Amino acid sequence: MKCKQTIRRRDASATKAAILGAARTLFAGASYETVGIREIAALAGADAALVSRYFGSKEELFHEVLRDGKRGADLLGTEMEGLPERVAAILMDPEDEGKSMEDILIFLHSANSPLAGEMVRDSIMERFHGPFSEAIGGENAMERAKLFGAMLLGISISEQISGAIAETPEMREKLTVRIAEILAKVIEPL
Amino acid sequence: MKCKQTIRRRDASATKAAILGAARTLFAGASYETVGIREIAALAGADAALVSRYFGSKEELFHEVLRDGKRGADLLGTEMEGLPERVAAILMDPEDEGKSMEDILIFLHSANSPLAGEMVRDSIMERFHGPFSEAIGGENAMERAKLFGAMLLGISISEQISGAIAETPEMREKLTVRIAEILAKVIEPL
DNA sequence: ACCGTAAGTCAACAGGTGATGACATTTTAA
DNA sequence: TTAAAATGTCATCACCTGTTGACTTACGGT
């Protein structure tokens, strides 16, 4: 009697979504080569064979994860007024745990992968640096956008690695203000 | 007639050093699992078997690479006067190509590895955040040191991924000043 | 010059990877 | 109800990984 506990009813699109979500989560935590198909399938509660079946290959699955991500502008908003404060608040939100910055973490972990690297670098340009430098506008917008991205990246990955920088709520508040100031300085025209 | 071009004379300590150097270079560019022993050996101009033989295992080799790295304080100096300017100059130096920040890149790429992650996180604390927060001193030194590290990390990895932010020498100069200002603000007491 | 030992090479291993095709089961439609 | 289509499972493949042992080659002391 073979009977594996199937949580959800047979539903191709639902399992496909579950796999995509699991892949997103895992790729945010480690590089393209480190994350295995079986691992993704396990987290999604599906069979490993379905990953290849539904997405064609691991590489295409990863591509789909990238396509599925939010654009930087969607996350941060295009309204420049109060942007540093908004972003700082997201970065320091203890509930968030880097979920808002998931795309950035995915970028980071696989940007140097021999197989997925080029894909990632294109995606960074198209989905982040591009729209964001447009939102900033003015002279040297791209340079300032890249610097801004570098800050987000640094803080996000640092928190993922070493845990939250701020431990107490008061410290968090102070740091939020500080980071907002820094980000404002980053965007400031050169 | 088996005759492989042996560049250097037979010298165990020299090959060991070559392997260590190659490993350092490659681990700065990709994660612990992504970099293969055969790849390391090829770059070092040695046989793959020697890697395991001389270092015991890939894990121990990686450990050695970490131990071999400079301490953050060595690289940046403990003299606080003019530190932001100095660091900014290193970050924007087009000749450097992230070589000074190699340790940081190594940290970054393998910090989330299931096998090497813990090792790396310990190393970050011991070799970077620790001495650096001591050098900064004052209240909330650790928090400011972590934020400082996050900036270095973000800029280094961003440059490695997308190439240099500044393309012209003038732009580079402007950005160096800007980054120095930012770093100064980061260190500033909370 | 020779021989022992250090240094390097090669082939093979066990285990893990992504991928695939045959099979089993559930769902849907007639 | 029953057959066909859709969905999920399993066993297996070829390849790649880190590691090891047996082998060959080169060096240095006598």
Quick check: helix, strand or coil at residue B1?
coil
| Same domain for A162 and A109 | yes
| Same domain for A175 and A101 | yes
Nearest to B154 among A113, A151, A160 (CB): A151
Considering the domain boundaries, does residue B131 fall inside one? yes
Considering the domain boundaries, does residue B109 fall inside one? yes
Average pLDDT value for residue range A3-27: 86
Per residue in A147-190, pLDDT (tens digit) is: 999 999 999 999 999 999 999 999 999 999 999 999 999 999 98
| Same domain for B16 and B81 | no
Cβ contacts of residue B27 below 8 Å, gap of 6+? B35, B62, B65, B106, B109, B110
Q: Which of B31, B49, B1, B6 is nearest to B19 (CA)?
A: B49
Amino acid in position B186: V
| Same domain for B181 and B108 | yes
With bands split at pLDDT 50, 70 and 90, how would you rate the model's confidence at A133?
very high
Residue A160 at interface with chain B, using a CB cutoff of 8 Å? yes
Considering the domain boundaries, does residue B101 fall inside one? yes
| Same domain for B86 and B21 | no
Distance CA A172, CA A174 (A): 5
| Same domain for A18 and A84 | no
Q: Which nucleotides in chain C lie closer than 7 A to a protein CB?
A: 6-11, 16-22, 24-27
Average pLDDT value for residue range A51-80: 92
| Same domain for B95 and B50 | no
| Same domain for B19 and B112 | no
Distance CA A160, CA B154 (A): 13
Considering the domain boundaries, does residue A63 fall inside one? no
With left for phi above 0 and alpha for psi between -120 and 50, is residue B85 left, alpha or beta? alpha
Q: Are A66 and A124 in contact (CB under 8 A)?
A: no
Beta carbons of B158 and A171 less than 8 Å apart = no
Residue nearest to nucleotide D24 (CA to C1'): B2
Tokens found for residue A167? 């431990």
Nearest to B150 among A113, A149, A158 (CB): A158
Q: Are B107 and B32 in contact (CB under 8 A)?
A: no
Residue nearest to nucleotide D11 (CA to C1'): A49
Beta carbons of A33 and B29 less than 8 Å apart = no
Considering the domain boundaries, does residue A157 fall inside one? yes
Per residue in B52-92, pLDDT (tens digit) is: 999 999 999 999 999 999 888 788 887 888 999 999 999 99
| Same domain for A105 and A168 | yes
Considering the domain boundaries, does residue B7 fall inside one? no
Distance CA B160, CA B31 (A): 14
Q: Looking at residue A7, what is its pLDDT?
A: 61
Q: Are A161 and B124 in contact (CB under 8 A)?
A: yes
For every residue of B86-130, which 3-state class applies, written as one string? HHHHHHHCCCCCCCCCHHHHHHHHHCCCCCCHHHHHHHHHHHHHH
Q: Looking at residue A8, what is its pLDDT?
A: 74
As for how many domains chain B has, the answer is: 2
| Same domain for A152 and A85 | yes
- List C-alpha distances in Å: B56 to A14, A72, B48, B63, B122: 47, 45, 12, 11, 21
Tokens found for residue A83? 């942007």
Residue of A nearest to B124 (CA): A162
Q: How many angstroms is C1' of D8 away from CA of A21?
A: 19
Instruction: Indicate the burial class of B140 (C-beta count within 10 angstroms; 0-12, 13-18, 19 or more).
Output: middle
| Same domain for B83 and B52 | no
Q: Looking at residue B70, what is its pLDDT?
A: 87
- List C-alpha distances in Å: B68 to B63, B98, B103, B120: 9, 17, 9, 13
Distance CA B138, CA B122 (A): 23
Q: Looking at residue A147, what is its pLDDT?
A: 97
Tokens found for residue B28? 């700065």
Range of the domain at A136: 72-187
Per residue in B158-179, pLDDT (tens digit) is: 999 999 999 999 999 999 999 9
In which residue are the tokens 């403990």 written?
B78
Q: Output the CA angle B35-A162-A95, nearest 5 degrees.
A: 120
Nearest to A30 among B112, B155, B175 (CB): B112
Q: Are A32 and A116 in contact (CB under 8 A)?
A: yes
Residue A5 host element (H or E): none
Considering the domain boundaries, does residue B5 fall inside one? no
Half-sphere exposure of B13 (CA within 13 A, CB side): 0
Distance CA A84, CA A90 (A): 10
Considering the domain boundaries, does residue B183 fall inside one? yes
| Same domain for B77 and B43 | no
